[in-house]
Chains A and B, each alone.
Chain A
Amino acid sequence: MLSSWTIGRKITAGYALSLIVLILIGTVSYRSVDALIDASTAVHQANHIQGELAQILSSMKDAETGQRGFVITGDETYLAPYLSGREEVGKEVGQLRELFKGDAAKQKQIDEAERLIGEKLAELKLTIETRKASGFEATLKIVVGGTGKTYMDDLRNLLGVMDQEQADLLGRLAVAAEGTSASAKNTIIAGTIVAIALMIVAGVIIIRSTTQQLGSAVHDMESASSELQAASQQQATGAKEQATAMAEIATTMNELLATSRQIADSAQRVAQVAEKTAGSARMGEQTVGRTRESMASIQRQVELIVTHMLDLGRKSQQIGGVIDLINELAEQTNILAINATIEAVGAGEAGKRFSVVADEIRKLADRVGGSTKEIRGLIEDVRAAVNTTVMVTEAGSKAVDAGSRQVVDVAASFTAIAGLVETTTASAQEIGLSTKQQTTAVEQVNGAITNVSQASRESEASTTQTLQTASQLAQLSRGLNRLIRD
């Protein structure tokens, strides 16, 4: 069970056991001393009582001596002992009564002694007055009568009894005090021996178990000191590396801080450029709106041109039809002229003039046919030009449509650009704000890193000190181990 106790507990138990023994010894000694003190007090009181008894008897003797000297001599100067004795005896009786306060039996004895004293003093007073008044002889008769002697003897006996009682009491107190003293001596001697034995046993046990535990603890502490030393070494190395890393991080954070400030400035410039771009986009949107209106007008004009050109094409086609009609008429005229010529040739000389006219008609028909061919060619050119113009115009219309759609797209793009620029502005402002917050955070982090770096350096110093302390502790452990083992 003791092996599981701590050293403090063992020491406390040893001290508690010794304390119990000391308390026992002290208690016994106290009670013995208290009994001795009570016995001494009782002895002192008994001696005091004996003294008072002796003093009462002495005062009564003084009073009787003074009475006798006056009675014999008639000289009142002999009354001085009488007077002092009579005065003292009252006080002494009172003191004696006080000493026996609470003791009824003794108080009765004191009452009896006080009566006897009173009777005696009255007899002495009577004799003195008788001497003064009646002379010696009369006085002698009273004395010879023996009353005073009786009183005095009774008083002396009573006081003797009381004195003897005190003497007996003193004897008993002496015996009791001797027993108490012997008991106290024995108790102290035995208790001291027991206490010494117990303390030796407890000391041996405590020393053995403590040495064992301390040895184990010191061994553990030695191992722990070695481990602590190694750990401190590693921690010192780590703290040094950490301090170096924190310095690098601090440098990096400074660079990051500068970069964040540059980003904040750039974001602010981007926001300004974005605002200008937004203004340009709005102006562009207005310009595109006007361009869209112009394009719509151009489109209407182009559609009108197409309509007119198609109408022109239809009119050209109608002209072609008329030209066909004219050509047909010219061809028929030509055929008629040919037939007229044939008839004129058949008529011989008579048809000569008619033949000339028919020939002219034919030539005229030929010219008309040639002209109609030219007109047809021109009409074809016109139709081709109209078709080309229509196609070109339709292509232009389509281009205008495409342009209008593109303008619409451009307008939408401008609107989108304006929206995007606003978004960009807001984003740039957010970036600026975030970057400022980031800068503040980086500054705080930089401060924290500076503190951490300082802490790392302090930790490095502390770790170095810890390493030194661990080394010293290991050395102390080895020394303590040697002390314990030796």
Chain B
Amino acid sequence: MDGNQANLQERMLELRQHFNAGFSRLLRWDVRAEVRILLVGVAGVVHALPLTDLIAFSACRAIITLPGQRAGCLGITGHGGRSIPVMSLATLLGMDESAAPTWLAVSRDAVGIAVTSFIGQVIVGADEIRPRDAASPALFAHARDAAYPIVDVRALTRAFAAPSTSPASNQS
């Protein structure tokens, strides 16, 4: 047995112990103390989407364009048995994005937000949601030794739904 196989066995044992311990651990989840966010990529920049602002996250399916649709609107798509509008997060944030959207986050307002990449889900403490510096009020999620701008999904979808809206990102 070489070193790699020994490490693998050790890792498997660790995973098994962690998995088994999950059933015996005390449930602890303080909604107010922890924030779950999704890290997505838009125009080469990773943004943070709070899970509390979403009702679903899936791969981007077929988007049907509509005649006379607004700028930033990619069209409509099916979700949960109904049609929802899909908007480009990059366009909404005023960023240039050449890549096609691959992932779709659905806001609580039933608006699809298309992003080009999915990084993952992280859980950060509430105190990790703060501005990056004192000069800017925009909030950032500090995780993995990095700071990710938090997208205000509600304000963004509301602005999209309003007749004339301006970008509602916290990004400065």
Contacts and interface: CB of A to CB of B under 8 A. Distances in A.
Interface of A: 334-335, 337-339, 341-342, 345-346, 348, 352-353, 355-356, 359-360, 362, 364, 366-367
A341 B51 contact: yes
B57 A335 contact: yes
A355 B57 contact: no
A345 B15 contact: no
A346 B56 CA distance: 11
Contacts of B48: none
A341 B29 contact: no
A356 B29 contact: yes
A348 B56 CA distance: 16
B22 A338 contact: no
A367 B12 CA distance: 11
A4 B79 CA distance: 160
B29 A338 contact: no
B36 interface: yes
Contacts of B22: 356, 360
Contact of A355 (B15, B29, B56, B120): B29
Contact of B59 (A335, A348, A364): A335
Given A345-B36, A352-B29, A362-B121, A338 B15 contact: no
Contacts, number: 41
Q: Which 5 pairs from chain A and chain B are nearest by CB? A: A360-B22, A338-B57, A342-B51, A342-B54, A338-B121
A359 B121 CA distance: 10
Grouping DSSP codes into helix (H, G, I), strand (E, B) and loop, the B interface class, with mixed when no group exceeds half, is strand
A96 to B, nearest CB: 186
Interface in B33-50: 36, 38
A342 B56 contact: yes
Give chain B's interface residue range (CB within 8 Å of chain A): 10 to 19
Chain A, interface SS category: helix
Contacts of A338: 38, 51, 57, 121
Nearest to A366: B120
B58 A339 contact: yes
Nearest to B54: A342
B126 interface: no
Interface string B12-24: 0001000100100
A305 B95 CA distance: 54
Interface string B121-132: 101000000000
B57 A367 contact: no
Contacts of A366: 120
B52 interface: yes
B146 interface: no
15 contacts: A335-B57, A337-B121, A339-B56, A341-B36, A342-B54, A342-B56, A345-B31, A345-B36, A345-B51, A345-B52, A346-B55, A356-B22, A356-B29, A360-B22, A367-B15
B27 interface: yes
Contacts of B58: 335, 339
A192 B36 CA distance: 188
A449 B19 CA distance: 118
Contacts of A337: 121
Given A346-B55, A353-B27, A360-B22, 10 more contacts: A335-B57, A338-B38, A338-B57, A338-B121, A339-B56, A339-B57, A341-B51, A342-B55, A345-B36, A367-B15
Nearest to B108: A346
Given A335-B59, A352-B27, A360 B19 contact: yes
A356 B21 CA distance: 13
A1 to B, nearest CB: 142
A337 B55 CA distance: 13
A346 B120 CA distance: 19
Contacts of B29: 352, 355-356
A367 B58 CA distance: 20
Contacts of A341: 36, 51, 121
